[in-house]
């Protein structure tokens, strides 16, 4: 284990309870700077719930979530996003009635420099800020490879392209750490391969990544470390090769052979 | 394309020069005031997606505030305590009206963050009822059903150079300037970072917040601006009609604004104007055709249903789409081929 200093996201004894249902029992793990960590587990293991807690969409019943030096418990989603911890959603999540370019412009919101008065008076700062945002939007679209779709309505994009646009939106919010919720579900092999290269590029540019994914091949290929969740508990943690042979993990995914009486 | 709006304004500015029938000028002025109110409603309904059935409350509060400050008032807030205000100039009263409705809008905006959707509709509806009851029953302040009379018209300038906006041609220009100003404010707002945040809130709130957009802030901003502009429309109305009674809070006025916005095309800048012109002018055209009053209302209703049925997005988006396909057929068949290939 490396020193405590380079830990970016740390989850300490987090539990989430919905009435009588224990969605997350006791979760403790951390993500280090520049890592790609895969969070896996069977359906209903609590992966998306965990994401919702980290990003402020759900309150943890107990425990603390810490991002760099800030405790995230009680912060609103937009406040957490502004700290640099940005997520994508499991379902395709884009602004359907806007063009691809318009979507990224919305995503660039926090990078704008103009105040309300600049907007109402149409000042030079307003025009400069808008120009900067447009250039940034262009760059992001080129990065994810959607520049040829700039003027298409998001609703008219193919499924895989919508997922890419979801990623572009998250990138527009200038993340220092990205949480990807099942980013390649529904993508074909070629699209997945391209997505993996993108994720690696994003990490190489200095962004830490935590991803939830069911495509095991993808997770094992891209992750530096894998955390396995089952029934709201962490049952294993380690490098992909080790996780693949962990008996506990195999049991969680395939079930246990019935013991003879 | 950029100068088309200004051509339209210039054309409208010429209206009082050739329209000698004051009745028609009156129709245009009232329609214009309602278009301003509809534009303000569109900011809320069309851009942030919040349906307020209480929009007329801002209009009425603006009307009453401006009337009371220009007339002056005296009320007992306790048996021995009298609060009063001497009559103030009309321009000041109108500014106060904008300011007061803006503050009321702030309160409603904060509230609407807590109650969304159907609950917000009910809260906004109740809000109008409460304001209407106050207007009706606080007789010492509002004269109740007896109405506030002899509200002064707006006058600007000093001595010899005073313009009074009492006569219809002058008032038409006042209305037109207010409408252009409101349009510019709304247009700048919705085409900016703030406007994109509002649209994001309308389309996908969770996604918007995950991108760092403070949705409460922009919802409140939209409500404040929307309320202040509706208040301005109310103040214009009060100094034009020069009488204001609690009937200004009637539900039908909210419905009229919503009809204008929805038929014209909500979430488009031109929508409320087109819808406003259609539904402000249609009743007059029908009246001029000398058909029975009952038939006029039936035709009005059928027209409205037809528009909503055949053009569910509204007139402006439908026209825009028609133009776009028209252009692609004649100018570039290549775009059509591209589209076909995409599918």
d(Cα B216, Cα B201) in Å, to the nearest integer?
9
pLDDT confidence bin for A101, thresholds 50/70/90 = very high
| pLDDT the model gives residue A256 | 62
- Judge: B203–A114 Cβ closer than 8 Å, yes or no: no
Chain B contact for A241 (CB, 8 A cutoff) = no
Q: B182 vs chain A: nearest CA distance in angstroms?
A: 11
Whether residue A261 is predicted with pLDDT greater than 70 in this model: the reply is no
Best of B212, B317, B339 to disrupt the A interface (most A CBs within 10 Å) is B212
| pLDDT the model gives residue B43 | 94
| pLDDT the model gives residue A82 | 93
Of A24, A40, A95, nearest to B204 by C-alpha is A95
* pLDDT tens per residue across span B2-34: 788 888 888 888 888 888 888 888 989 999 999
Q: Indicate if ipTM > 0.90.
A: no
| pLDDT the model gives residue B338 | 42
Which has the higher per-residue pLDDT, A247 or A84?
A84
Of B229, B241, B245, nearest to B64 by C-alpha is B245
* Chain B residue whose CA is closest to A82: B212
d(Cα B182, Cα B179) in Å, to the nearest integer?
5
- Judge: A86–B210 Cβ closer than 8 Å, yes or no: yes
Using a CB-CB cut-off of 8 Å, the residues of chain A touching B197 are 106, 109
Chain A contact for B224 (CB, 8 A cutoff) = no
Which of A55, A96, A126 lies nearest to residue B210, judging by beta carbons? A55
Chain B contact for A76 (CB, 8 A cutoff) = yes
* Chain B residue whose CA is closest to A93: B207
Residue B79 CB partners (closer than 8 Å, separation 6+): none
Length of chain B measured in residues:
343
Under DSSP, is residue B73 helix (H, G, I), strand (E, B) or coil? Answer: strand
For β-strands A177-181 and A208-212, DSSP reports them as parallel
Q: Are A13 and A63 in contact (CB under 8 A)?
A: yes
Which of A98, A109, A129 lies nearest to residue B211, judging by beta carbons? A109
* pLDDT tens per residue across span A215-224: 888 999 999 9
Whether residue A98 is predicted with pLDDT greater than 80 in this model: the reply is yes
d(Cα B224, Cα B218) in Å, to the nearest integer?
10
Whether residue A67 is predicted with pLDDT greater than 90 in this model: the reply is yes
Whether residue A2 is predicted with pLDDT greater than 70 in this model: the reply is no
Chain B contact for A115 (CB, 8 A cutoff) = no
Q: A256 vs chain B: nearest CA distance in angstroms?
A: 39
- Judge: A95–B210 Cβ closer than 8 Å, yes or no: no
Which of B189, B199, B214 lies nearest to residue A78, judging by beta carbons? B214
| pLDDT the model gives residue A259 | 54
Using a CB-CB cut-off of 8 Å, the residues of chain A touching B188 are 119-120, 122
Chain A contact for B335 (CB, 8 A cutoff) = no
* pLDDT tens per residue across span A131-145: 999 999 999 999 999
Using a CB-CB cut-off of 8 Å, the residues of chain A touching B207 are 89, 93-95, 169
Give the helix ranges, DSSP H, for chain B: 4-13, 15-18, 22-42, 55-71, 90-114, 118-137, 139-142, 168-190, 193-203, 205-210, 215-241, 251-264, 271-288, 293-310, 315-330, 333-342
Using a CB-CB cut-off of 8 Å, the residues of chain A touching B193 are 109, 112, 114, 119, 129-130, 133
Which pairs from B122-130 meet CB under 8 Å and 24+ separation?
B123/B54, B124/B52, B124/B53, B124/B54, B124/B55, B124/B57, B125/B53, B125/B54, B126/B54, B127/B54, B127/B57, B128/B53, B128/B54, B128/B56, B128/B57, B128/B60, B128/B249, B128/B251, B128/B254
- B17-B21-B24 Cα angle (round to 5): 100
Give the helix ranges, DSSP H, for A145-246: 159-172, 189-204, 216-222, 240-244
Best of A57, A119, A151 to disrupt the B interface (most B CBs within 10 Å) is A119
The greatest distance separating any two alpha carbons of chain B, rounded to the nearest whole angstrom, comes to: 81
| pLDDT the model gives residue B342 | 41
Which has the higher per-residue pLDDT, A2 or B190?
B190
The overall average pLDDT reported for chain A is: 88
pLDDT in single tens digits along all 343 residues of chain B: 678 888 888 888 888 888 888 888 898 999 999 999 999 999 999 999 888 888 999 999 999 999 999 988 888 888 888 888 888 888 999 999 999 999 999 998 888 767 777 788 888 889 999 999 999 888 878 888 888 888 888 878 777 777 788 788 888 999 999 999 999 999 999 999 999 999 999 999 999 999 999 988 999 999 999 999 999 999 999 999 988 989 889 888 898 899 999 999 999 999 999 999 988 888 888 888 888 888 888 888 898 889 888 988 889 888 888 887 765 554 444 444 344 444 3
* pLDDT tens per residue across span A148-163: 999 999 999 988 889 9
């Amino acid at each position: 284990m490396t020193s405590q200093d380079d830990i970016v996201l740390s989850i300490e004894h987090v539990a989430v309870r919905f009435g009588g249902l224990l969605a997350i029992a006791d979760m403790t793990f951390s993500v280090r700077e520049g890592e790609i960590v895969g969070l896996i587990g069977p359906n209903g293991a609590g992966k998306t719930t965990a994401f919702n807690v980290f990003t402020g969409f759900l309150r943890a019943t107990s425990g603390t979530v810490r991002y760099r030096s800030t405790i995230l418990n009680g912060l609103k989603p937009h406040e957490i996003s502004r700290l640099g911890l940005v997520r994508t959603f499991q379902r395709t999540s884009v602004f359907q009635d806007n063009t691809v370019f318009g979507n990224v412009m919305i995503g660039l919101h926090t990078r704008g420099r103009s105040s309300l008065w600049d907007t109402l008076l149409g000042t030079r700062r307003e025009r400069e800020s808008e120009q900067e945002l447009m250039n940034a939007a262009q760059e992001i679209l080129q990065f994810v490879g959607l520049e040829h779709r700039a003027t298409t309505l998001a609703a008219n994009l193919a499924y895989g392209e919508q997922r890419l646009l979801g990623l572009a939106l998250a990138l527009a919010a200038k993340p220092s750490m990205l949480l990807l919720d099942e980013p390649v579900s529904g993508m074909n092999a070629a699209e997945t391969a391209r997505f993996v290269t993108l994720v690696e590029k994003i990490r190489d540019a200095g962004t830490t990544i935590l991803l939830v994914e069911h495509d095991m091949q993808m997770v094992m290929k891209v992750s530096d470390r894998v955390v396995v969740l089952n029934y709201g508990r962490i049952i294993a943690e380690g490098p992909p090769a080790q996780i693949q042979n962990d008996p506990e993990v195999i049991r969680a995914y395939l079930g246990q052979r019935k013991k003879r009486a | 394309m950029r100068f088309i709006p200004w051509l339209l304004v210039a054309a409208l500015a010429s209206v009082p020069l050739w329209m000698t029938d004051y009745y028609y000028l009156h129709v245009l002025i009232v329609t214009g005031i309602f278009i301003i109110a509809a534009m303000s409603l569109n900011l809320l309904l069309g851009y942030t997606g919040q349906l307020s059935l209480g929009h007329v409350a801002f209009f009425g509060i603006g009307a009453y505030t401006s009337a009371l400050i220009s007339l002056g008032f005296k009320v007992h807030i306790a048996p021995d305590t009298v609060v009063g205000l001497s009559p103030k100039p009309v321009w000041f009263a109108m500014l106060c009206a904008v300011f007061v409705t803006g503050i009321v809008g702030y309160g409603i905006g904060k509230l609407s963050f807590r109650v969304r959707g159907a609950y917000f509709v009910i809260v906004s509806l109740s809000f109008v009822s409460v304001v209407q009851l106050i207007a009706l029953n606080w007789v010492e302040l509002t004269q109740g059903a007896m109405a506030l009379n002899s509200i002064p018209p707006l006058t600007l300038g000093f001595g010899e150079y005073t313009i009074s906006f009492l006569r219809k041609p002058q008032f038409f220009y006042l209305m037109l300037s207010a409408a252009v100003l409101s349009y510019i404010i709304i247009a700048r707002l919705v085409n900016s970072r703030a406007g994109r945040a509002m649209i994001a809130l309308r389309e996908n709130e969770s996604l918007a917040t995950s991108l760092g957009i403070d949705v409460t802030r922009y919802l409140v901003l939209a409500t404040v601006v929307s309320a202040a502009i509706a208040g301005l429309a109310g103040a214009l109305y009060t100094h034009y009609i020069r009488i204001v009674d609690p009937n200004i809070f009637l539900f039908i006025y909210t419905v009229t604004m919503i009809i204008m916005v929805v038929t014209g095309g909500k979430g488009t800048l031109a929508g409320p104007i087109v819808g406003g012109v259609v539904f402000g002018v249609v009743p007059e055209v029908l009246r001029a055709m000398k058909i029975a009053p009952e038939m006029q209302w039936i035709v009005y209703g059928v027209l409205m249903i037809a528009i909503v049925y055949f053009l569910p997005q509204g007139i402006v988006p439908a026209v825009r789409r028609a133009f776009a396909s028209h252009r692609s057929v004649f100018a570039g068949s290549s775009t059509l081929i591209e589209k076909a290939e995409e599918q």
